[in-house]
Amino acid sequence: MTGSALLIHHDKAMNYHFHDSHPFHPLRLRLTLDLLAEAGALAPTAMLTSRPATEEELLQVHQPAYIEAVKALSTNPGPDWLERAAQYGLDDDDTPFFPGMHEAAAYVAGGSITACEAVMSGRCDHALHLGGGLHHALSAKAAGFCVYNDVSVAIAYVRQRYQARVLYIDTDVHHGDGVQWSFYSDPEVCTYSIHETGKYLFPGTGFVQERGEHQGYGTCVNIPLQPYTEDASWMECFEQSILRLTEYFKPDLIISQHGCDAHALDPLSHMQCSMAIYNEMPAIIHSLAHTYCSGRWVAVGGGGYDIWRVVPRAWSLLWLEMTDHPLKRSLEQRPRTRLPQTWIERWQEQSSVSLPAEWLDDLTHWEGIPRRAEITAKNRESLAVALQDFPEI
């Protein structure tokens, strides 16, 4: 598979920063871009500078009063706004308001719009916006580290300007609730999310019974997985479900969210996956884009809270797949390929943990999960229920 690709970025999106001890830290982006540069996989000509989303674009998803609140809380808010912050989800530990919040969040949303426009206009086949993926924000409330829902804003842009059928694929370990609710009754937008079950993890949604409503019934698919799911079961459920769903829906554009917090090292979930799934899932999505969408594929970032050992590798593997880079292909023959030593040396002093030496995890030292058979069986039950309305390929 080949196809031109652009990486969308703007330095102002790096200002989406709650505070230094917050788990959602923009350093993740810098680490990833530096790893790609050291690997010789990021030419300057492959980068496209984005713009902020306009208020009109934000209003396609978010309520006017909410945008007003975000703006007010971004610059020296008075006592009235401080009292009202809770109403908009902007006063808790997860999503506290911060100076410059509106501008930074608007640049995040604008980055995802820029990526979609680049693909839909024919400027490139694939586009990656790692700063995006803020999938928890609701129409009138912030949630789960997310102020504006850049993905929903971008999908609304594509629907309005191009009338394209959009398949949204969410591989974050947390359910993509905000995007789901934005298009829950829209038959032209299919939302798919594979995640740790909401029985145990924020946001407490994403069950197989959530299937859409009215004309949109059947265009919402959730694959909730058991805690401590490992690579084989995760990939079995992902591959079987996404192949059947894409064949059924036949999208014009795929937008995928690549939160990488299902990794065993992530501190905010309970899964036992390795880097292997972040090597394999993008390859499947890439193939689907060329099979059904003439290559049209936009990818965004998302969660991922082991910012040293997991996020830079996972997001770099996504770009390597998107660009069909020789390094990605070589991992099939040499899975023990080492990371650039210059990158390790540059960042090790700042990290409180030892940086990984290789692109993929060495699983020979990982302990097996005692309940593997039970977990796999329960995941297959969820898969069967989720796919009951879709014909087999």
End-to-end CA distance of the chain: 22
- Give domain status of residue 393, yes or no: no
Give the per-residue pLDDT at 389.
85
Rounded distance, CA 218 to CA 210, Å?
A: 9
- Note if the pTM is more than 0.85: yes
- Give domain status of residue 261, yes or no: yes
Give the per-residue pLDDT at 392.
83
Give the per-residue pLDDT at 138.
98
CATH number at residue 382: 3.40.800.20
Strands 47-49 and 5-9 turn out to be parallel
Q: What share of the chain is helix, strand, coil (3-state, %, to 5)?
A: 45, 10, 45
Question: Which value, in Å, is the radius of gyration of the alpha carbons in the chain?
Answer: 20
Give the per-residue pLDDT at 391.
81
What is the dihedral sign for C-alpha 209, 211, 213, 217? negative
Give the per-residue pLDDT at 365.
87
Containing structural domain, residue 120: 5-387
Give the per-residue pLDDT at 2.
64
Per-residue model confidence as pLDDT tens digits over 283-330: 999 999 999 999 999 999 999 999 999 999 999 999 999 999 999 989
- Give domain status of residue 67, yes or no: yes
Strands 297-300 and 253-257 turn out to be parallel
- Give domain status of residue 130, yes or no: yes
Give the per-residue pLDDT at 1.
61
- Give domain status of residue 61, yes or no: yes
- Domain total of the chain: 1
Q: Which two tokens stand for residue 56?
A: 């009109």
Catalytic residue IDs: 136
Q: By the 8 A CB rule, do 260 and 314 touch?
A: yes
Sites in the chain below the pLDDT cut of 70: 1-2
